[in-house]
């Protein structure tokens, strides 16, 4: 098939492009390079089945494809809060443009949603049936509410126009090709540890997160996209293993052999206290569960960042 991946030069998108090419598809990678990087897909440029196009999904796109993965949107607080209006436009207008394209082509379309739709949850772990607790006017709202609106659009297009949709709610994911300046907890801790800097923990470090290695997540994407037409989602994709932020920091220090100290700063506004996916639906409908243990995934990610910081080539690193 010919497959469109928006946000294809980003962290997740580039790994998805790798997987789709390995599976024998043609890939049209679309990115405006706000947070994506050409270096993430440089190893694919020149491949006969790969095409790279600079484009912003807030504008209509006229192409011919069989499937659409809509991953375009800044996903870290540092990046999505940089231009919150454009973040919201990317989620909402991007969804509308990709849904319109899917409707015209009769193509199946996948939405990369997020665990942020659950906000600061009062239900733990979070099942897909939980509607969430989200601040609609906070500093994270451009992302949280943008993704919630995108889900609404997907299901309205499905009900009204019979568009074949797939919606995944992504929980914290890590791995090679993360942006070292994205402000996410895994990349922050690894970069700080490798540099020997203090490791910054917000609050007391008792807030919990669940960390899924990128290869596991991409496998979930592909399984969901190619599942029975009756499976629309939303489906949680993430690793149900739950760790405190402090535990993560201590693991990174141990694995890097760093002498970094832990320093504590005030918790940001609306930062969730707990985040853990209930993945029973993914297990039942997709036969999917993450396979890579946290320490194994962290070692691969540390190797990537060590090469990046030392100036060694990391193009195509997995």
Write out the catalytic residue numbers: 143
Alpha helices in the chain (DSSP H): 11-22, 77-80, 84-105, 141-161, 185-195, 214-225, 245-256, 280-286, 294-309
Q: What is the DSSP string of 71-98?
A: --S--SHHHHTTSHHHHHHHHHHHHHHH
Q: How far apart are CA 308 and CA 310, in angstroms?
A: 6
Q: Is the peptide bond before 8 cis (omega within 30 degrees of 0)?
A: no
Task: Assign residue 306 a region (left: φ > 0; alpha: ψ between -120 and 50; beta: otherwise).
Answer: alpha
**Chain CA centroid to CA 64, Å:** 25
Token pair in block for residue 92: 């909402």
Backbone angles phi, psi at 153, to 5 degrees: -60, -40
Task: Assign residue 279 a region (left: φ > 0; alpha: ψ between -120 and 50; beta: otherwise).
Answer: alpha
Encode burial over 190-225: b for 16+ CB neighbours within 10 A, e otherwise.
bbbbbeeeebebeeebebbbbbbbbbbbbbbbbbbb
């Amino acid at each position: 098939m010919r497959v469109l991946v928006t946000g294809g030069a980003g962290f997740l998108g580039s790994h998805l492009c790798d997987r789709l090419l390995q599976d024998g598809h043609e890939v049209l990678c679309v990115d405006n390079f706000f947070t994506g990087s050409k270096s993430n897909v440089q190893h694919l440029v020149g491949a006969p089945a790969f095409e790279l196009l600079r484009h912003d999904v807030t504008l209509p796109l006229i192409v011919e494809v069989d499937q659409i993965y809509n991953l375009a949107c800044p996903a870290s607080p540092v990046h999505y809060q940089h231009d919150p209006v454009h973040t919201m436009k990317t989620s909402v207008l991007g969804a509308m443009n990709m849904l319109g394209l899917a409707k015209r082509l009769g193509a199946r379309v996948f939405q990369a949603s997020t665990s942020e739709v659950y906000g600061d949850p009062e239900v733990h772990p979070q099942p897909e049936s939980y509607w969430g607790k989200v601040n609609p006017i906070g500093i994270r709202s451009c992302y949280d509410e943008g993704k919630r609106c995108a889900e609404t659009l997907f299901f309205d297009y499905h009900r009204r126009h019979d568009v074949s949709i797939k919606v995944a709610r992504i929980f914290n994911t890590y791995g090679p090709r993360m942006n070292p300046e994205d402000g996410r907890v895994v990349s922050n801790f690894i970069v700080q540890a490798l540099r020997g800097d203090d490791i910054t923990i917000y609050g007391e470090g008792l807030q919990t997160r669940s960390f899924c290695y990128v290869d596991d997540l991409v496998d979930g994407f592909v399984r969901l996209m190619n599942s029975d037409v009756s499976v629309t989602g939303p489906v949680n994709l993430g690793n149900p293993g739950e760790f405190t932020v402090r535990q993560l920091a201590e693991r990174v220090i141990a694995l890097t052999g760093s002498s970094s100290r832990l320093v504590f700063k005030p918790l940001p506004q609306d930062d969730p206290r707990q985040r853990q996916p209930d993945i029973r639906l993914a297990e039942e409908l997709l036969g999917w569960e993450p396979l890579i243990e946290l320490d194994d995934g962290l070692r691969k990610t540390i190797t990537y960042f060590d090469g990046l910081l030392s100036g060694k080539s990391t193009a195509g690193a997995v």
